[in-house]
Structure 1
C-alpha cells in the first residue's frame, strides 16, 4: 500500500513537471526537471524496496 501511494505521488510530480517543461521550453529548466525527477525516482526506489535481512 505504501508503495502504491509513493508511486501515485511520483506520477503526480512527474506529470506536473512535464507540463511545466512543455509550457516553458527552456533548456536550463528542462535540465533541472530531469535532475529533479531522477532524484525523486532514486528516493522512490530506495525508500520503497524491501529491507535487507
Structure 2
C-alpha cells in the first residue's frame, strides 16, 4: 500500500508540473522542474529499495 501511495503521489506531481511546463514553456522553468522530478524520483527509488532489518 505504501508503494502504491508513493507512486500515486509521484504521478500527481508529474501531472501538475507537466501542466505548468505546457502553459509556461520557459527554459529556466523547465530546468528547475527537471531537477525537481529527478530528485523526487531518486528519493522514491532509494526509499523503496531500503533494506529493512
Q: Taking structure 1 as the reference length, what is the TM-score of the superposition?
A: 0.92
Separation (CA, whole Å) in 1 of partners of 2:41 and 2:31? 15
List structure 1 runs of 4+ shifted beyond 4 angstroms. none
Q: How far off is 1:52 after superposition?
A: 6.1
Q: Which residue of 1 aligns with 2:3?
A: 3
Alignment of 1:23-42 (within 5 A): 23-42=23-42
Q: Which runs of 5+ in 1 are unaligned?
A: none
- Number of equivalences: 53
Q: Which runs of 5+ in 2 are unaligned?
A: none
Q: How far off is 1:15 after superposition?
A: 0.5
Q: Helix, strand or coil for the counterpart of 1:25? A: coil
Provide the alpha-carbon RMSD of the alignment.
1.3
